[in-house]
Amino acid sequence: MSTIDALSAEPGAPRQCPALVIAAPASGQGKTTVTAALARLHTREGKRVRVFKCGPDFLDPMILSRASGNPVYQLDLWMVGEAESRRLLWEAAGEADLILIEGVMGLFDGSPSAADLARRFGVPVLGVIDGSAMAQTFGALAVGLASYQPDLPFSGVLGNRVNPGRHNDLIRDSLPASIRWYGSLPRSAAIELPSRHLGLVQAGELADLDTRLDTAADALEQTATITLPPPVTFAAPSIEPLAPLLAGVRIGVAFDASFAFIYQANLDLLEQMGATLTFFSPLTDKALPDVGSLYLPGGYPELHLQALAANRPMIDAIKAHQQAGKPLLAECGGMLYLLESLSDVAGERAELAGLLTGTAQMQKRLVALALQSVELPEGVLRGHSYHHSRLDSALQPLARGSCPNDKPVSEAVFRLERLTASYIHFYLPSNPPAAAALFRP
């Protein structure tokens, strides 16, 4: 049992807040666009909106945070844990007028699925269906989503990429009276969110993101129901205060266009345990901040190979930090940065930090996607892996992860003195004492 699942303090009073799980029959239907449009629309109406993302993801939350004006946290019955997910929802219900939870993949896909989360917390589902290439069949899909699991709370559907007029009417009229029609969004390049190999383009790279969000909200306002759904009652969690295990510890966190895949909950946890966080850029900074520990999260180092390789003062500073026996956690792209070299899909190669023996090559296809649990000397940590690169290294792993869904993915964790590196993106609140031990000098 994770630390998150073992919370034991006395709970408080239940809280109520309107809430929806935004789900779809499959990936690519427009869940993020619709969730962001709803968040921006209600925020403009003066509502306080809190958005969550179901399952592990870094890119969608960047967009959703911009749309709502608030940080976005993950909800997942396994990685985050039921107790911690309950706490996050209960806290949000105390400060928000509306809670939106974007699902993952298709509504019933995976274990745990978005449907599992909706059922566990009693949050009704708003189904998003891409109606661009159909008419009355839209109704059949809606009925299937609503009835496949009889105990699933289901609120209604919203059509995405639907032409105004006749097409919209055909789709709307295909629904039985028992399924609420929330409205539709048109197909428009002005509101679509561009993507690349790991998912959506990062929010900070989209100069016109706010314009896109406002355009989507405008379109939704013209065709959709914007009244709040009925309130959901969120039971109070049991909360146990965190021990100040990192009191006085200064942690440098890499954060720029190359390294930005980090859970907000990880940063919160480190600060709640007493750490002081200072952000720096391996792309542009020439020296490390005055810190005792380093955190190199994942990201897109393959898109900035030459700039990273050219910044030798930063590489030398990180090497000196590690060689001085100071703690360093490197996840996925952060680990790739510490290899001898990395090659992009075109074969362009760059010499990097060389702290870890080995090289990596970006692939055109996905290499691994899986939840992971790994037993380290510090304790068991949960997380996930998602990468398009292959590692070639003679390093012997300290440990290997395992997947709770029996996927044949077992990511290695490497240890070199106080350096810990892996493809795994760790969800640090899954075991706060273990997380603290990784960073404590």
Asked if residue 435 has pLDDT above 70, the reply is: yes
CA dihedral angle for residue 80, residue 86, residue 91, residue 93, rounded to 10 degrees: 130
Share of the chain above pLDDT 90, in %: 84
How far apart are the C-alpha atoms of 305 and 287, rounded to whole Å? 19
Rounded average pLDDT over 179-189: 90
Q: Are residues 216 and 256 in the same domain?
A: no
Asked if residue 240 belongs to a domain, the reply is no
Alpha carbon 367 to its chain centroid, in Å, reads 19
Q: Are residues 268 and 191 in the same domain?
A: no
CB proximity list for 350: less than 8 A, separation 6 or greater: 305, 306, 308, 309, 341, 342, 343
State residue 296's pLDDT score: 99
CATH code of the domain in which 219 resides = 3.40.50.300
Options 17, 54, 332, 403, the catalytic residue: 332
φ/ψ of residue 276, rounded to 5? -105, 125
By DSSP bridging, strand 49-54 and strand 98-102 are: parallel
Q: Which residue has the tokens 């790279």?
A: 205
* CA angle (188, 190, 196) in 5-degree steps: 95
CATH code of the domain in which 335 resides = 3.40.50.880
Q: Give 405's pLDDT tier (boundaries 50, 70, 90).
A: confident
How far apart are the C-alpha atoms of 170 and 181, rounded to whole Å? 12
Q: Which of 234, 260, 278 is the last residue of a domain?
A: 234
Query: What would the pLDDT profile of 382-397 be if each residue is shown by its tens digit?
Result: 999 999 999 999 999 9
State residue 407's pLDDT score: 81
Asked if residue 243 belongs to a domain, the reply is no
Tokens representing 238? 């049991």
User: Does 54 participate in catalysis according to the annotation?
Assistant: no
Q: Are residues 354 and 396 in the same domain?
A: yes
Query: What would the pLDDT profile of 150-174 be if each residue is shown by its tens digit?
Result: 899 999 999 999 998 899 999 999 9
Which structural domain range is residue 277 located in? Answer: 250-439
Global pTM exceeds 0.75: yes
